[in-house]
Structure 1
Amino acid sequence: MSPSLGVPSGLPHLVHDAFVRAKTAGDLSFFPTQVALLRVHGVPFQLRFAPALAKKPKAAKPAGDKDKSAQPPTPFNPFEDPPPGLMVIPDVCGGTHRLVLNKFAISQDHSILATTTFRPQAHVLEATDLAAAYTCIEAYADAGEELFVFFNSGSHSGASQPHRHLQLLPVAKMREGLEDGGSGWDVLVDRLIEGKSGEVPFYVAAARLSPGSTPSSLHTTYLDLYRQARAAAQGTSAVIATGDVDTTAEESGDVPASISYNLALTKETMAIIPRTAEGASVTSDGGSLSLNGTVLAGTALVKNEAEWDALKSDSSRLEEVLAQIGVPLTRRTAAL
């Protein structure tokens, strides 16, 4: 790795050591999760029970009718001035980003690439965002490890913070708890791009990345996939803008993205799923499953025991949720 990119060699060990220190000090919340492996149309999906995520604080709501004149509190921004105990690398890619640990980790060594100055999560990504993420992916690859990066954008995507950030999950840590070391599970987007058997019930725009991809080529690929996803989403609830979309302003980042979507990035693959819903009910009393960008890894996170039991006992419930969160394959405008 080039020193100018701000990512030192041995990045996996650096992140892991920081994670262990932060967990020991109580700076982050992480507990081992129960896991089951389900299959949807032949595609292996992890189902992980992570009750600690139910304790994750939500953004403040606007003032109610009793005090309409009151100004809603400014939402807490965890990336504006990250706690020292969560900091991993303060300066990535010339200072555009910083690498911090996720305070509410869904797996060991769960980290986040956040912009050092506020950039909107709801706007399209810039070349520097993708360069920072891919630099980390290559740093893990140099150490013989895989890294899965995902990005949530829009009201249906599972996004919870307005400050732009991408989330990083070491694939080896995502396999923990699975039988036979996780040999029966692969990262979904890599599986699809390789043409392995099975098909997901939602549209995905995906592309294979060339070795030595540059920031410019990564951004070109991203915009191409975003356009495919936007086209596939036309006429569905994935479209969140009203009126005609100024695609030039949108793609330059001057206005919010017109669709809700998740992005996934690995060393070999980039993929985007346009989202029409964050989740769907899985129990008779309204218990639901919400999905974010980890769905493109083939992972579903469950926060409550009732939903965990319902999904684990009947994999068709997971298939029904997956069929409702995106654009049905019958509407897709391009093949993988």
Structure 2
Amino acid sequence: MNGNWMDAIDVRSASALASGDLQPVQADETEMTDGGMRFIVRWVSSLAAKDAVKKDVAVPGGPRDPAFNPFLNPDPALTVGPVGEAHVAILNKFPLCARHLVLARREFEEQLSPLVRIDFDALATIMGEAGGLGLYNGGVEAGASQRHKHVQWIPEAPGNASLKLYAPGLPTDAEPQTVARHPALAMKHCFVRVECGKGVAVDRAGASMHAGFERARAELDLAPGPDGLLPPCNLLLGDGWLLMLPRSREHFEGISFSAVCFGGTLYTRHRDQIDAIRSVGPLQAMAAVGC
């Protein structure tokens, strides 16, 4: 589609909320400071509802059907429109925030197959209009819930995840494709300076983000295996930086960590899980699921 993406997302969201196809965000939150950085931890009851749906009796095409793929033939009530020739924009049925968007491939490809230029062009289309944060969950251990290849996007808004969290520990005058590490992150990771965000042309941003992804993969030795698939990893893109980190496991104390958590906003399914994060601090919880 062409035109204003935010208007299209808002129109589709209003319709899906009215019909019940979009599950509204229900969250309580608290703030924590760790390593001089501010984190938000949210208890999102709609995530618990999502788990409950998964436990339903299996029905054809239902959540426990191994052939079920919500991205191959996306729900029209949640579909915003095509993004380029290879992707479709879909509202996340269980959003972590308002305007939470999935950019899924139109044809099936494994989620752990390496991202390519067209994946970054799709993100650049949305980010060029509205900024925000691009996200990728590579594999189950990285928080991916679907095998069908997709990236995600969330807008810049108070309380939403952002790479601005790390700005004080990163070089301010770094040239594009400069590699950096952050002193507060104990797990294996890599920042790469990229050109992306509001106002950056799609071709320019897509090329820069793709080059940054390849540089980060090389720095972290994240090469595809014999099956052509990457090891588990997360990717975040925003505010002129790419952050990539390999993953060792999905959960810390039963709390699922996906890419969005490494942007400073952590999500729990149950209120008492907030205490588990508070007991060690967000940085140690993040390190526990890294490498």
The equivalent position to 1:74 in structure 2, one of 66, 69, 80, is 66
**Residue equivalent to 1:321:** 285
Between 1:106-115 and 1:200-209, the stretch displaced more is: 200-209
The equivalent position to 1:98 in structure 2, one of 72, 88, 107, is 88
**Residue equivalent to 1:276:** 248
Deviation at 1:32, TM superposition (A): 3.1
Alignment partner of 1:299 is 2:280: no
Conserved 8 A contact 1:193-1:269: no
Q: Equivalent pairs: percent with the same residue?
A: 24
Cα RMSD after superposing both structures: 2.9
Point out the structure with max Rg over C-alpha: 1
The equivalent position to 2:206 in structure 1, one of 206, 210, 215, is 215
How many residues in Structure 1 have an aligned counterpart in Structure 2? 269
Conserved 8 A contact 1:22-1:86: yes
Gapped regions of structure 2 (runs ≥ 5): 56-63, 173-181
Between 1:19-28 and 1:211-220, the stretch displaced more is: 211-220
Change (3 A) 1:194 1:7: farther
**How do 1:235-250 and structure 2 match up within 5 A?**
247=223, 250=224
The equivalent position to 1:85 in structure 2, one of 60, 64, 77, is 77
Conserved 8 A contact 1:204-1:273: yes
Deviations 1:16-58 (A, max 9, x none): 2221221121011123311111122112111011021022258
Conserved 8 A contact 1:149-1:266: yes
Distance across 1 between alignment mates of 2:70 and 2:169: 34
Distance across 2 between alignment mates of 1:24 and 1:194: 46
Aligned structure 1 segments of 4 or more residues deviating by more than 2 angstroms? 57-60, 72-75, 185-195, 200-204, 210-218, 308-311, 314-320
Distance across 2 between alignment mates of 1:273 and 1:47: 21
Conserved 8 A contact 1:261-1:272: yes
Distance across 2 between alignment mates of 1:17 and 1:191: 37
The equivalent position to 1:34 in structure 2, one of 28, 39, 48, is 28
Deviation at 1:320, TM superposition (A): 3.2
**How do 1:53-202 and structure 2 match up within 5 A?**
53-57=47-51, 73-89=65-81, 91-93=82-84, 95-140=85-130, 146-172=131-157, 174-175=159-160, 187-188=164-165, 192-193=169-170, 199-202=184-187
Deviations 1:92-114 (A, max 9, x none): 12x20000100011111111100
Letter of the 1:151 partner, please give it: Y
Conserved 8 A contact 1:43-1:199: no
Alignment partner of 1:256 is 2:246: no
Change (3 A) 1:115 1:189: farther
Deviation at 1:135, TM superposition (A): 1.5
Letter of the 2:238 partner, please give it: T
TM-score normalised to structure 1 length: 0.72
Conserved 8 A contact 1:49-1:302: yes
Deviation at 1:203, TM superposition (A): 2.8
SS at match of 1:160: coil
Change (3 A) 1:191 1:149: farther
Conserved 8 A contact 2:134-2:236: yes
SS at match of 1:21: helix
Distance across 2 between alignment mates of 1:256 and 1:59: 26
Distance across 2 between alignment mates of 1:264 and 1:190: 14
TM-score normalised to structure 2 length: 0.82
Distance across 2 between alignment mates of 1:323 and 1:12: 34
Deviation at 1:192, TM superposition (A): 4.7
Between 1:130-139 and 1:208-217, the stretch displaced more is: 208-217
Deviations 1:2-25 (A, max 9, x none): xxxx442x3222212221221121
Letter of the 2:210 partner, please give it: H
Deviation at 1:201, TM superposition (A): 2.9
Distance across 2 between alignment mates of 1:111 and 1:135: 13
